[in-house]
Structure 1
Amino acid sequence: MTEYEITETLDVKGQNCPMPVIKTKQSIDNLDEGDVLEVLATDPGSTSDLGGWADTTEGVELVEQEERDDLYKHYVRKME
């Protein structure tokens, strides 16, 4: 895998835009600096939605995204 440790997993499978982004923001707000949130989604649009959200949101970093079958995994780190 990669060189980060997952702090928490958020399951938003079966939910469509904008819910994966809204729930990711809510979960990230509750984490500590440096923590990594794993987001599990089935919405293909979640890749661009979460990418765009991370690009325009201070204090978060989109570490990695991967697609396996119909599952989209997103890894978001909370920054300062």
Structure 2
Amino acid sequence: MSDATRIDARGLRCPWPALRLARALRQQGTPLEILADDPAAEREIRALAEAHGIAVTAFAIDGSPTFRIG
């Protein structure tokens, strides 16, 4: 079981997944996992994390693209 807080942003179009991630980073910090199926989400999530100096790891949960932040 993961110790990360999970954000389900499936079905949301960019920039909403990145905005949800930004809010979670401000409110609780890392580690976070975000599920996001918009094709542009990976680029925006990586850019946001890199701007904060945080590593991103991509994988899948139940077939959904998932990104671990921190």
- 2:34 is matched with 39
Q: What is the CA–CA distance in structure 2 between the aligned matches of 1:6 and 1:69, rounded to whole Å?
A: 18
RMSD: 2.0
Mapped contact 2:22–2:48 kept (Cα < 8 A): no
Instruction: Report what 1:73 is aligned to.
Output: 66
State the identity as a percent: 20
Greater helix content: 2
Q: Which structure would you say has the larger Rg?
A: 1
SS in 1 for 2:48: helix
SS of the equivalent of 1:22 reads: helix
Aligned to 1:23: 20
Q: Normalising to structure 1: TM-score of the pair? A: 0.71
- TM-score, with normalisation over the residues of structure 2? 0.79
User: How many residue pairs end up in the alignment?
Assistant: 69
Higher mean Cα deviation, 43-52 or 18-27? 43-52
Runs of 5+ consecutive residues of structure 1 not aligned to the other structure: none
CA offset digits 1:25-71 (Å, max 9, x no partner): 00111114xx310001111211111112222x23x513301246862
The whole-number CA distance in structure 1 between the counterparts of 2:13 and 2:5 is 21
